[in-house]
């Protein structure tokens, strides 16, 4: 298949960010004029702590038969200069962020906006489903790629951040005050420091459980509400 004909899906993990979505959705519609990319909002019902990674897995599983590649995309990041076209390897797009002076927050950052072809995402068994609250899931995903010997790609995407009440802590703030932060941090570093650890082959897409409670279609996106 010609890469120009590849169909992409932007998967947006979501909860309680209606004001952000009201800005994000029309902005993205105007921006996406040269690639065949649709948008899926995966809304987590109230109750459990937010699980960004699991919502990304759900978005992939729900839509995998209809798309060739997937872009996991935070709702508070607006593209300024971003290439959303197909890539045949895991590719980080959110390299330059306005609130960091358009520099990566750290060299190996793999969060915010990340693109996967279908084959690579299946090979790493998707995200872990066990990162609740804030932090760690994107680093775990990158390490899964490393363990599977996948080449990582980086595009110098430039994004503007939309303010929101529960923002990622700024440098010097107490990130460990976020729910589950220490647990997530321990989980990732236990994985990263053991080169023989391939736990992810038995935890991820293959162990994903969820229930779709509602499907809502709008001209700009499809929104599913899920129980995790």
DSSP 8-state symbol, 204 = S
Q: How far is CA 141 from CA 56, 82, 202, in A?
A: 11, 21, 14
pLDDT at position 166? 54
pLDDT (tens, 9 = 90+) of the chain, 228 residues, equals 566 689 999 999 999 999 999 999 999 999 998 888 999 999 999 988 999 999 999 999 999 999 999 999 999 999 999 999 999 999 999 999 888 888 777 778 899 999 999 999 999 999 999 999 888 999 999 999 999 999 999 999 999 999 865 544 444 444 455 667 788 989 999 999 999 999 999 999 999 999 999 999 999 999 999 999
Range of the domain at 49: 3-227
DSSP 8-state symbol, 103 = B
Q: Reduce the DSSP state of residue 213 to 3 states and report it.
A: strand
- The domain spanning residue 217 has which CATH number? 3.90.550.10
pLDDT at position 135? 87
CB 39 within 8 A of CB 74: no
pLDDT at position 176? 54
Measure the CA–CA gap between 111 and 79, rounded to whole angstroms.
15
Q: How far is CA 49 from CA 134, 180, 181, 228, in A?
A: 9, 9, 12, 10
Closest of 48, 41, 80 to residue 62, by C-alpha: 41
Give ∠ CA 9-113-77 in degrees, rounded to 5: 100
Measure the CA–CA gap between 120 and 103, rounded to whole angstroms.
27
Measure the CA–CA gap between 177 and 168, rounded to whole angstroms.
11
pLDDT at position 33? 87
pTM of the model: 0.92
Q: How many CA atoms lie within 13 A of 157 on its CB side?
A: 27
Structurally, how many domains does the chain consist of? 1
């Amino acid at each position: 298949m010609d890469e120009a004909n590849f169909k992409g899906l932007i998967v947006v993990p979501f909860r309680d960010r209606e004001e952000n979505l009201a800005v994000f959705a029309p902005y993205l519609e105007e921006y996406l004029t040269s690639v065949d990319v649709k948008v899926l909002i995966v809304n987590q019902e109230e109750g459990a702590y937010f699980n960004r990674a699991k919502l990304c897995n759900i978005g992939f599983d729900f839509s995998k038969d209809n798309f060739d590649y997937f872009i996991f995309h935070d709702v508070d990041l607006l593209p300024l200069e971003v290439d959303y076209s197909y890539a045949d390897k895991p590719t980080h797009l959110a390299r330059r962020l306005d609130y960091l002076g358009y520099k990566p927050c750290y060299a190996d950052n793999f969060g915010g906006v990340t693109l996967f072809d279908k084959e690579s995402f299946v090979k790493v068994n998707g995200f872990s489903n066990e990162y609740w609250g804030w932090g760690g899931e994107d680093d775990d995903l990158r390490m899964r790629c490393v363990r599977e010997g996948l080449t990582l790609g980086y595009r110098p995407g430039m994004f503007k951040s939309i303010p929101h009440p529960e923002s990622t802590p700024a440098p010097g703030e107490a990130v460990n005050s976020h729910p589950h932060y220490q647990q997530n941090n321990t989980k990732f570093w236990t994985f990263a420091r053991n080169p023989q650890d391939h736990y992810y082959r038995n935890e991820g897409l293959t162990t994903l459980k969820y229930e779709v409670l509602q499907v809502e279609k709008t001209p700009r996106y499809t929104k599913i509400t899920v129980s995790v």
